[in-house]
Amino acid sequence: MKKKILVTGCAGFIGYHLCKKLINKNFYVVGIDDLNDYYDINLKLKRLNELNRIANLKDNQFIFVKEKLENKKSINELFKRYNLEVVINLAAQAGVTYSIHNPDSYISSNIVGFLNILEACRDYSIQNLIYASSSSVYGGNQKIPFSESDSTNHPISLYAATKRANELMAHTYSHLFNIPSTGLRFFTVYGPWGRPDMAPMLFANAIFRNKPITIYNSGNMQRDFTYIDDVVEAINKLILKPASSNLKFDRSNPDNSSSWAPHRVFNIGNSQPVNLLDFISILEEEIGIKAIKIFEKERPGDIKNTYADNDKINKWINFKPKTSLKIGIKNFVFWYKTYYGF
């Protein structure tokens, strides 16, 4: 019998693609999302419509629940009603810059909401918890590539601090209640149906409409752009391999990526960082229009360079990203033109 899986943030970018994959693989999927207005609600609703369409075509089960993670009573009722076995927590208040001006929403969603998920996992004996962290947790680190064994004690945005807090909270519950939990540090995920607040969508919007794009720190930044299909494939494999205790864990010389408890943390990146100006050049080439560029100083909270060391997740589930940046951008631009009618 197929597992019953809860995906929080199911109308979000990664959540949508993951649910689509799980529906096509005949899993019983329960999706939850509060459909907040951090970005275009219509995009979220269209993702949901697409998920319902796919589920109907496949005659598979997809149930959508509109709710906030902060509503503890509703979360408990949902766990009880659907007899869930696997929980994939992708819901969160996202955005580094937004966290500087709206800190309360990050504590409410990312801390209180995640605590409610952990408590429900405890009460209903969940077999596998997978949750979204972020490459932002590496903060002021300058050693690259970023490894899960590195220290993450110096975040430079509240968003990053809440994601690091999630990792610590999950580890505590793994230790106290033996909940297998896996944290995923995503590196700049992009692709079709992407988030409008992230660079690929912001740049494409401006280029297609002949409006200027703002480039911070004079473009002296590198990002480890990771294609959405590769991210979803990694999560799909992790569903079948819950976290387990590291039997060789040395408490006198601890490895930050694992524990004596059933808790693991993995990077999910492309491991091929690209200069931001080079990314824009590939985007310009695929769109066929030159960008109008405006250069600004560095923004508070921005990490200058991201670069994922994927060695640990490769060894754990044999994960290696397959999508080159040129193919990924080609797919993204094709979707963008279709969706927005260019």
Which residues carry out catalysis?
A: 159
Of 262, 258, 271, which Cα lies nearest the Cα of 121?
262
DSSP 8-state class, residue 135? G
Residue 14: exposure state from Cβ atoms within 10 A (0-12, 13-18, ≥19): buried
Q: Could you give the CA distance from residue 61 to residue 27 in angstroms, rounded to a whole number? A: 7
Secondary structure of 26-77 in HEC code, one letter for each residue: CCEEEEEECCCCCCCHHHHHHHHHHHHHHHHHHCCCEEEEECCCCCHHHHHH
Is the sign of the CA dihedral 33, 39, 41, 43 positive or negative? negative
Give phi and psi for 53, each to the nearest 5.
-65, -45
- What is the chain's alpha carbon radius of gyration, rounded to the nearest angstrom? 19
Q: At what angle do helices 325-340 and 199-208 cross, to 10 degrees?
A: 60
User: What tokens appear for 55 in the block?
Assistant: 């589920």
Exposed e or buried b per residue across 153-168, where buried means at least 16 C-beta atoms within 10 angstroms of its C-beta: eebbbbbbbbbbbbbe
